[in-house]
Amino acid sequence: MKTLGRIAVISAVAVAVTFIARGDGDASKNQSKTNDAKNVAAASGSSLKEPVKSVLDHYLKIRAALADDSTKGVSTNAAAISEAVKADKAKTLSAEVAAGADAVAQAKDLATVRENFKDLSQALIKCMSDKNVKTGQFDEVFCPMANAYWLQTNQDISNPYLGHSMPGCGEIKRGF
């Protein structure tokens, strides 16, 4: 029995070493960056109305940065979301979206940004669901490891909560 356990461990290590030696780990990182840039451009060309279009464009930029283990541009994009929601006289999006964006904008480190991004994502998903938004462009994705949801525009999972450590962790739940 112990021999079988050792063989299983050795086999798992061999598979992991082979995977890393082939460079697939780097490919997923580079693929994530490429897909994120395409995702933002795809949302920009959508038929969504303001302020939803602007909010989703900024949201996708935040998600892309977090998937890349970065906070570059996050505060600026989050502040833009908050401003767009607060300036909308029609109250298209809820105050919870603005509050979530404010929390993301004020976060000082990657872990806190990611934690606050959960609330922003939940608020945005709830608004889209409540208003029955159907664009055919956005997917709601769930990561069981982070116990969190997010929106993205590409079916290739690009996890904003786990970044490079587990970029493909998640499953598409529904489309918007």
Please report, for the chain, the start and end positions of each structural domain, with discontinuous segments joined by +. Answer: 28-175
Question: What's this model's pTM, rounded to 2 decimal places?
Answer: 0.76
- Confidence (pLDDT) at 152: 97
Angle at 17 between CA 5 and CA 142, to 5 degrees: 85
User: What is the structure's pLDDT at 24?
Assistant: 37
**Cα–Cα distance for residue pair 156/57, rounded to 1 Å:** 18
- Give yes or no for a cis peptide into 51 (omega within 30° of 0): yes
pLDDT digits (tens, 9 = 90+) for 7-37: 333 333 333 333 333 333 333 444 444 344 4
pLDDT digits (tens, 9 = 90+) for 29-83: 444 443 444 444 444 445 678 999 999 999 999 999 999 999 999 999 999 999 9
Closest CA to 39 of 171, 120, 160, 142: 160
Of the chain, the percentage scoring pLDDT greater than 70 comes to 73
